[in-house]
Amino acid sequence: MNMQSVIHQIKIKPVLTIILCLVVSMLYAQEKDTYIKAGAMFDSQQKVFVQNQLIHIRGNKIVSVETFKEVPENVNFIDLSNYTILPGLIDAHTHVLFSQDANTDSSEHIIQTVTMESDALRALRGAKRARSYLDVGITTIKDLGNSGLFLDVALRDAINEGTIEGPRILASGPIMGAAGGQIYGVSPNHQNLIDLEYRVIKGVEDARNAVREHVNQGVDLIKICADNLPNKTMLTREEMEAIVQMAHDYGLSVTAHSVSDKSAWNAVHAGVDGIEHGFNIADSTLKLMAKKNVFLVPTENSRNYMNIYSNLAGFKKGETEWIDFYLEKMSKRLKQAIKLGVPIIAGSDNYTDIGGTRGKSSQDMLRAYFEAGMEPLSILQSATYLSARYVGMENDIGVIKSEAKADIIAVQGDVNSDFVKTMENVVFVMKDGIIYHQKTN
């Protein structure tokens, strides 16, 4: 290198450095910090409301939450002091890539879906459903299967990269279950169709390998079917133990679909982290769950939801007495679980089209828990902090605190005195620091 070129390099480097600093300064100046003034803010970890808070947001994270004194200069300021501020809600049981009518047979509809609905069409329909969760303040969902071969993972990635708008998705991939999965009545010649929707487990070593397959596809958790009702097959305790051990080795939680008490009992003994549904769960199993700190996702429905469903399903006047029995049974189960100390996680499992958006349908879980006798603040904690804690994300989502994701919603009303109406009146939704919905004055 000659002397002239050396001198040229010495001169040019400081100039580039100055230009780069100016560009960075301009970009930083354009991205102002955001401050939200909160009147009543829900501390989901302590299950209490705190007053007069100032939430400082930078990018997609919360910088600090402090008692309000004054608004700093040259910032984006949002005054939500006249509203109730909550962490973004979490629906811990969804099937965003699946939908069926109330009057259709579920098994036949799944077969129709996997054979006559392309992955592309299914994903696009799922994307539209996903966007609607943000409108009702649900900023995170756990999607637990019935999503084809990892379409839930693809949808999650598309949302994360900003290709489409939607809630944060924690994806399980195909449900792991015994022979037949939850698809009944399929002839022996076409059992391979079930493999397009479920991961059928064929022994202990295959159970371990199934977890490895899911890990390689980037799932966030594992979902199993402890029983396959109305199919009679169930995973063995040894198969479930193998799944749990392998999943935990990879840092993944395991939650188990269970309708019968026997399958729930076996799943809890096998070490699962949670039970989904638990419709027929016995007190002895609930006590074991409380002892082992296993959560329950009681997928309740409100009376209004059940009335709409029964009408769409074709039940005639005088044929709906079972609704009262169902609601009473579910209420007793929920109250008993709470009494025995079982952690309750909010989840809807609403994949039936009863009119309106999927988000609105999912929102019904809050009304259902309230009608079943659960206290408003307990419902909110179940749909925020507790849900996040059981996937190891209690410092990231379901909370409003320093270093957490900026998932913040506002509702108009008083959750203690008018819970249902207030929770249905969502006026502000922020996810990852981005505002998706705002109807404030």
* Mean of all residue pLDDT scores within the chain: 93
Same domain, 360 and 434: no
Long-range contacts of 414-417 (CB under 8 A, 24+ apart): 414/84, 415/42, 415/84, 415/376, 415/377, 415/380, 416/376, 416/377
Structure confidence at residue 80 (pLDDT): 96
Structure confidence at residue 441 (pLDDT): 73
Structure confidence at residue 25 (pLDDT): 45
- Domain for residue 69, yes or no? yes
Residue 234: name the closest of 264, 197, 196 by CA.
264
Range of the domain at 302: 89-391
pLDDT digits (tens, 9 = 90+) for 413-426: 999 999 999 999 99
Tell me the percentage of the chain whose pLDDT exceeds 70.
93
Structure confidence at residue 10 (pLDDT): 47
CATH number, position 198? 3.20.20.140
Same domain, 142 and 94: yes
Least confident of 313-317, 362-366, 371-375: 313-317
Same domain, 249 and 161: yes
Distances (CA, A) of 11 to 2, 22, 79, 82, 320: 15, 18, 50, 57, 85
| 381 compared with 12, residue with greater pLDDT | 381
CB-neighbour burial class of residue 27 (10 A; exposed 0-12, middle 13-18, buried 19+): exposed
Structure confidence at residue 318 (pLDDT): 85
- Domain for residue 249, yes or no? yes
Question: How large is the average pLDDT for residues 59-80?
Answer: 93
- Domain end: 372, 391, 410, which one? 391
Q: Which residues of 410-427 are buried (b: 16+ CB within 10 A; e: fewer)?
A: bbbbebeeebbebbbbbb
Entry pTM: 0.91
Same domain, 44 and 116: no
pLDDT digits (tens, 9 = 90+) for 5-36: 544 554 545 555 555 444 444 444 446 899 99
Same domain, 249 and 118: yes
- Domain for residue 365, yes or no? yes
Same domain, 225 and 102: yes
Same domain, 271 and 215: yes
Q: Are 426 and 440 in contact (CB under 8 A)?
A: no
The tokens describing 417, both together, are 């005195």
Structure confidence at residue 13 (pLDDT): 54
Same domain, 147 and 238: yes
Structure confidence at residue 6 (pLDDT): 44
Instruction: Give the C-alpha separation, 316 to 123, whole Å.
Output: 35
Structure confidence at residue 230 (pLDDT): 87
- Domain for residue 52, yes or no? yes
Structure confidence at residue 28 (pLDDT): 44
Same domain, 223 and 348: yes
Same domain, 107 and 48: no
| 9 compared with 165, residue with greater pLDDT | 165
pLDDT digits (tens, 9 = 90+) for 111-141: 999 999 999 999 999 999 999 999 999 999 9
Structure confidence at residue 11 (pLDDT): 53
Domain count, the chain: 2
Question: How large is the average pLDDT for residues 154-174?
Answer: 98
- Which residues neighbour 199 within 8 Å (Cβ) at sequence distance 6 or greater? 173, 174, 175, 176, 177, 210, 213, 214
Helix 204-216 crosses helix 237-249 at what angle (to 10 degrees)? 30
In the chain, how long is the greatest CA-to-CA distance? 99
The tokens describing 98, both together, are 């699946």
Residue 99: name the closest of 69, 79, 77, 124 by CA.
124
Same domain, 413 and 361: no
- Which residues neighbour 89 within 8 Å (Cβ) at sequence distance 6 or greater? 136, 137, 138, 139, 140, 346, 383, 384, 409
Q: How many CB atoms neighbour CB 279 within 10 A?
A: 16
pLDDT digits (tens, 9 = 90+) for 260-314: 999 999 999 999 999 999 999 999 999 999 999 999 999 999 999 999 999 999 9
Whether pLDDT at 360 is above 80: yes
Structure confidence at residue 73 (pLDDT): 86
- Domain for residue 316, yes or no? yes
Q: What is the CA radius of gyration of the chain?
A: 24
- Domain for residue 4, yes or no? no
- Domain for residue 25, yes or no? no
| 75 compared with 12, residue with greater pLDDT | 75
Question: How large is the average pLDDT for residues 387-397?
Answer: 96
Q: Are 40 and 84 in contact (CB under 8 A)?
A: yes
- Domain for residue 21, yes or no? no
Same domain, 359 and 272: yes
Edge-to-edge strand ranges of the sheet holding 198-200: 198-200, 175-177, 222-225, 254-258, 274-277, 295-297
CATH number, position 49? 2.30.40.10
